[in-house]
């Protein structure tokens, strides 16, 4: 089985798992009393946010190792992770305002968490634009690695922003030193969703990595765009 | 009445929830199809 086929199968399994998460979250998880049904956006928003940040950390780590080892596999992985991270960041930045409107009364506010997450999204887009703009593969990989390392440095600030500044965005209820402040039925749904998003990340990155392999085999030209 | 909240106390905002779930599904499916098409291009 080729790498592309493996990626496709993982993606299919992940999408089926996500469909099961939809059923569990919408039909079998209790409604939170204060926020109402809109609180269920939490089951998509938070796992997507975790993988948005993790994907950028992995892009940065791959960049650091690339600068030392010059291994093209690291550059390919960073490219794949950045593209998938951009998709997850898009989910975070669309579900967040949809959740914020009924709870905060506004779609958007320029607080530290929201603004730094938007900056991360722009870094992702900038990363992909740089990769598309530089033709020399060695220079492209080097510029991208530096940009990826900058993005990685932003991630701890995003996570800590709700502690460092007064923000409208709430503090973490799961990723915190003490135990999660969630009933077990909600926590199980959230963990199930996190597992589905993890599978999605792996499936997408595997396919995107395989695409880069094909592109490199064609001498840098993208398949179908010779 | 007691201390138990009545159903009417729960905010009626299911439309936002449905919108978020639909948007997420659309983004993920569109990207999955995009990857499929790009890896299928000869």
Residue B11 to residue A214, Cβ atoms within 8 A: no
What band does B8 get if pLDDT is binned at 50, 70 and 90? low
d(CA A96, CA A116): 13
For B15, name the nearest residue in chain A, comparing CA atoms only.
Answer: A38
pLDDT greater than 60 at residue A143: yes
What band does A220 get if pLDDT is binned at 50, 70 and 90? low
The residues spanned by each domain of chain A are 3-217
pLDDT greater than 80 at residue A80: yes
What is the C-alpha end-to-end distance of chain A, expressed in Å? 27
Residue A91 to residue B28, Cβ atoms within 8 A: yes
Residue B23 to residue A41, Cβ atoms within 8 A: no
d(CA A38, CA A32): 9
Residues A129-147, mean pLDDT to the nearest whole number = 94
How many C-beta neighbours within 10 Å does residue A3 have?
A: 15
**Cβ distance A123 to A82 under 8 Å?**
no
pLDDT greater than 50 at residue A8: yes
Q: What is the pLDDT of residues B18-39, one digit of tens each?
A: 999 999 999 999 999 999 999 8
pLDDT greater than 80 at residue A177: no
Instruction: Pick the more confident residue, A17 or A175.
Output: A17
Q: What is the pLDDT of residues A13-71, one digit of tens each?
A: 999 999 999 999 999 999 988 899 999 999 999 999 999 999 999 999 999 999 999 99
d(CA B22, CA B2): 38
Interface of A with B in 174-203 (CB under 8 A): 200
**Cβ distance A48 to A22 under 8 Å?**
no
In a domain, B3, yes or no: no
Across the A:B interface, residue pairs with CB atoms under 8 Å apart total: 94
**Cβ distance A125 to A86 under 8 Å?**
yes
Residues A116-139, mean pLDDT to the nearest whole number = 95
pLDDT attached to residue B42: 64
CATH class of A3-217: mainly alpha
Interface probe with B: pick from A95, A203, A223, most Cβ of B within 10 Å: A95
Given CB atoms, is B28 within the 8 Å cutoff of chain A? yes
pLDDT greater than 90 at residue B41: no
In a domain, B4, yes or no: no
Residue A99 to residue B21, Cβ atoms within 8 A: no
Which residues span the domain enclosing B22?
Answer: 14-40
The total domain count for chain B is 1
d(CA A162, CA A164): 6
Whole-structure pTM value: 0.92
Residues A155-164, mean pLDDT to the nearest whole number = 91
In a domain, B6, yes or no: no
Rounded (5°) CA angle A133-A52-A4: 70
Please, is A82 exposed, middle or buried when counting C-beta atoms within 10 Å of its C-beta (0-12, 13-18, 19+)? buried
Please, is A107 exposed, middle or buried when counting C-beta atoms within 10 Å of its C-beta (0-12, 13-18, 19+)? exposed
pLDDT attached to residue B6: 54
């Amino acid at each position: 089985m080729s790498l592309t086929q493996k990626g496709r199968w993982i993606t299919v399994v992940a999408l089926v798992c996500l469909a099961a998460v939809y059923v569990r979250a919408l039909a079998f998880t209790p409604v939170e009393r204060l926020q109402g049904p809109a609180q269920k956006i939490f089951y998509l928003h938070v796992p997507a946010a975790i993988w948005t940040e993790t994907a950028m950390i992995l892009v940065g780590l791959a960049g650091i190792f690339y600068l030392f080892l010059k291994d093209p596999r690291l550059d390919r992985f960073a490219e794949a992770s950045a593209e998938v991270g951009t998709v997850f960041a898009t989910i975070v930045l669309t579900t967040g305002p949809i959740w914020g409107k009924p709870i905060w009364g506004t779609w958007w506010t320029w607080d530290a968490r929201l603004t730094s997450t938007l900056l991360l999204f722009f870094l992702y887009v900038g990363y992909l634009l740089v990769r598309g703009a530089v033709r020399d593969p060695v220079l492209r990989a080097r510029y991208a690695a530096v940009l990826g390392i900058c993005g990685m440095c932003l991630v701890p600030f995003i996570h800590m922003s709700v502690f460092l500044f007064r923000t409208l965005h709430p503090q973490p209820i799961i990723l915190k030193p003490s135990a999660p402040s969630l009933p077990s039925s909600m926590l199980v749904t959230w963990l199930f969703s996190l597992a589905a998003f993890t599978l999605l990340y792996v499936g997408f990155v595997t396919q995107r990595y395989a695409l880069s392999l094909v592109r490199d085999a064609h001498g840098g030209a993208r398949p179908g765009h010779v | 009445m007691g201390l138990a909240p009545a159903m009417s106390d729960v905010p009626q905002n299911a439309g936002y929830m449905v919108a978020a779930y639909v948007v997420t599904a659309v983004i993920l499916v569109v990207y999955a199809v995009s990857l499929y098409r790009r890896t299928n291009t000869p």
